[in-house]
Amino acid sequence: MHLSLALAVSALLFGIGVYGLLARRNAIAVLMAVELMLNAANLDLVAFDAWWRDQLHAGQSFALFVVVIAAAEVGVGLAIVLAVFRLRETVAVDSLTELADRDPVLAHVDYTTDEEVVGQMSHTP
C-alpha cells in the first residue's frame, strides 16, 4: 500500500470531521466529528509507522494512546450531553448559552446602539 493513499484517505476523513464540527448543531454529531478527526490522525500514525518500518512501533503505540484518550473523551462528552439534555431537553449546541462569558447585569440589555450600552453601563451598581 502506498503512503499517499493512506494520507489521502486520512485527509478526507479529517476534512469530513472539520466540516461536521463547524456545520453541525447537534452535540452528538459534534462528538462524532471529533472522533473522525482523531481516527484520521490514527491512520496517519499507523501509515507512517509502516512506511518507516519502525522497530519500536512508536506510531502504533501513539495510535493506541489516542484511542484510549478518545474513549475517555466520548465517555465524558456523552455524560455532559445527557446531563444537558435532562436539564434543557435539547442537545443543540447553539441554544446552550448558560456557560457563556456574559455580564449578568447587562444580560437583559438589547445592544442596538452604543449610547444605550454606555448609558446602561454607567447606571449599574
Q: Which residues contact 66 (CB under 8 A, 6 or more apart)?
A: 38, 41, 42, 45
- Per the DSSP assignment, residues forming a β-bridge with 26 are 92
Exposure of 51 in the CB half-sphere (CA atoms within 13 A): 13
**pLDDT of res. 111:** 52
**Neighbour-count burial of 44, counting CB atoms closer than 10 A to its CB (0-12 exposed, 13-18 middle, 19+ buried):** buried
What is the structure's pLDDT at 122?
A: 55
Cell numbers for 122: 454607567
pLDDT for the residue numbered 106:
59
- The pTM score is 0.73
The Cβ-side half-sphere exposure at 75, using a 13 Å CA radius, reads 6
CA-angle at 107, arms to 100 and 118, nearest 5°: 120
Grid cell at residue 91:
442537545
- Residue 85 DSSP symbol: H
pLDDT for the residue numbered 93: 83
pLDDT of residue 38: 96
Q: What's the rounded mean pLDDT across residues 103-123?
A: 55
**Residues 75/50, Cβ–Cβ less than 8 Å:** no
Q: What is the mean pLDDT of the chain?
A: 84
pLDDT digits (tens, 9 = 90+) for 55-98: 888 999 999 999 999 999 999 999 999 998 898 888 888 877 76
- For residue 62, the one-letter residue type is F
pLDDT mean over 112-120: 53
Query: What pLDDT score does 109 carry?
Result: 53
